[in-house]
Amino acid sequence: MKNTSQHIVFLTPGFAKSEEDSTSIPALQVYLKSLRNALPNCKMTILSFQFPYTKKKYKWHNIEVIPLNGQSKRYKKLLIWKKALLKLSKLHKKHLITTIHSFWIGECSIIGTRFSNKHNINHIVTVMGQDAKLKNLYAKYLANTNVKIVTLSQNNSNILYKNYQLTSTVIPWFLDIDVFPKIQQSDIDILGVGSLIPVKNYPDFINVISVLVKTHPNLIVEIIGEGDQTPLKQLVKKNKLEDNISIIGGLSRNHVLEKMANSKLLLHTSNYESFGFVFSEALYSGMHIVSYNVGIAKPLNEWIVCCNKLELIKSCEKLLLLPSKVKKRILLNSQQQSVNDYLDLYNS
């Protein structure tokens, strides 16, 4: 006998390996914890396609996680897709699935679309990263379906529509404000936070600092992010910035937030963001921001949105010259509103 109470299944390429894992897609973790609190009696299941690297089921904040252990191996892709469909069938027989929520326009949205169409199940896809950009072969499979698409910012919604003529509902991420440390006076002048990958555009970051140190020779700069540090270290050395820039590498999220609480300015030179969780974190940590117009970029007294590298330099210079004052927290998005917006999609 099928249970007719609500059952939401989340499809994601990866997920936290435990409740102590704070670095695996933190925005998704914050959302799911809030949703769990909003729907205490709802059955929730997570199918994680690629990581963590285990086949053992586990509980995460009272949500069952079923890892498929794809390990991002190309040769395992079709096998993982088949396994995902089999798992969904078993879950559906055991406890009727009422909604499938897929993350990223990719393999999860493909499987979610196929299964939801076959069983007439409500299907939501959240566009999480660069999946709105051109040359995403998976995007065409969402055309002419009943899928409800969610983007994280108006910028991202516009890009998705321009590239694929797919309309979407904008629902931004939000913060778990309880995990933020106390704000401190700033020992770090400029902080960079983000993976060391090309889209984050760290050459512009280094070039901006190389100009600023001419008038601020004692500038203290730190870069936090996982990835190959060699190209970045070479740029730092080439520009003779070893005394100014420290490349920290990857840190736990709690440690990153501690760094933010102790920093004056976030310089974010990324060429693309779907949302930019780091923006919300920085503002709530009392920082100023200088960035390009990506993700949720929004001109504020504390946030200067720039069009080119020269504007980045001038904006950083302006903020560095501001007199020290008590830092204040800014909360951009409402947890309650975002959760309610998703609940409307789940129940429609």
Q: What is the DSSP letter of 2?
A: -
Query: Do residues 29 and 50 touch, judged by C-beta distance below 8 A?
Result: no
Tokens linked to 235:
């740029």
Q: What is the pLDDT of residue 5?
A: 87
Q: What is the pLDDT of residue 3?
A: 52
| Length of the chain in terms of residues written | 348
For residue 1, pLDDT over 60 is answered with no
Q: What is the mean pLDDT of residues 203-229?
A: 97
For 136-173, how does the pLDDT look when each residue is reduced to its tens digit (9 = 90+)? 999 999 999 999 999 999 999 999 999 999 999 999 99
Q: Which residues fall within 8 angstroms of residue 156, CB to CB, at 6 or more apart?
A: 127, 132, 170, 274, 275, 295
For residue 254, pLDDT over 50 is answered with yes
Q: Are strands 221-224 and 288-292 parallel, antiparallel or unpaired?
A: unpaired
CB count in 10 Å sphere of residue 74: 7
Query: Do residues 331 and 173 touch, judged by C-beta distance below 8 A?
Result: no
Q: How confident is the model at residue 295 (pLDDT cuts 50, 70, 90)?
A: very high
Quick check: do 7-174+335-347 and 177-320 share a fold?
yes
Tokens linked to 48:
């994680």
Could you give the 3-state DSSP secondary structure of residue 35? helix
For residue 255, pLDDT over 90 is answered with yes
Label residue 199 exposed, middle or buried (CB < 10 Å: 0-12, 13-18, 19+).
middle
DSSP alpha helices (H): ranges in the chain? Answer: 26-38, 77-94, 107-119, 154-164, 202-212, 230-238, 253-261, 277-284, 309-320, 335-347
Q: What is the DSSP letter of 251?
A: -
Q: What is the mean pLDDT of residues 110-132?
A: 97
Q: At what angle do helices 202-212 and 230-238 cross, to 10 degrees?
A: 20
For 36-78, how does the pLDDT look when each residue is reduced to its tens digit (9 = 90+)? 999 999 999 999 999 999 999 999 999 999 999 999 999 999 9
Could you give the 3-state DSSP secondary structure of residue 181? coil
Q: What is the pLDDT of residue 2?
A: 47
Query: Do residues 266 and 188 touch, judged by C-beta distance below 8 A?
Result: no
Q: What is the pLDDT of residue 4?
A: 58
245-249: strand order across its sheet? 245-249, 221-224, 188-193, 263-268, 288-292, 303-306
For the entire predicted model, the pTM comes to 0.94
For 28-37, how does the pLDDT look when each residue is reduced to its tens digit (9 = 90+)? 999 999 999 9
Query: Do residues 186 and 329 touch, judged by C-beta distance below 8 A?
Result: no
**CA distance between the termini of the chain:** 25
Residue keyed to tokens 């929730």: 44
Write down the domain spans for the chain: 7-174+335-347, 177-320
Mean pLDDT (the chain, rounded):
96
Q: Give percent of the chain with pLDDT exceeding 90.
A: 96
Element (H, E) at 126: strand 122-126
For residue 299, pLDDT over 70 is answered with yes
7-174+335-347: CATH class = alpha beta
Cα separation of 240 and 244, whole Å? 9
Element (H, E) at 55: none
Query: Do residues 295 and 153 touch, judged by C-beta distance below 8 A?
Result: yes
Q: What is the pLDDT of residue 105?
A: 98
Tokens linked to 169:
């509902």
Q: What is the pLDDT of residue 96?
A: 97
Q: Which amino acid is at 139?
A: A
Q: What is the DSSP letter of 300?
A: B
Q: What is the pLDDT of residue 325?
A: 83
For 229-242, how does the pLDDT look when each residue is reduced to its tens digit (9 = 90+)? 999 999 999 999 99
CB count in 10 Å sphere of residue 109: 27
For 186-206, how does the pLDDT look when each residue is reduced to its tens digit (9 = 90+)? 999 999 999 999 999 999 999
Query: Do residues 58 and 308 touch, judged by C-beta distance below 8 A?
Result: no
CATH code, 177-320:
3.40.50.2000
Calculate the alpha carbon distances from 76 to 14, 20, 112, 172 in Å.
15, 28, 18, 33
Q: What is the mean pLDDT of residues 106-121?
A: 97
Q: How confident is the model at residue 324 (pLDDT cuts 50, 70, 90)?
A: confident
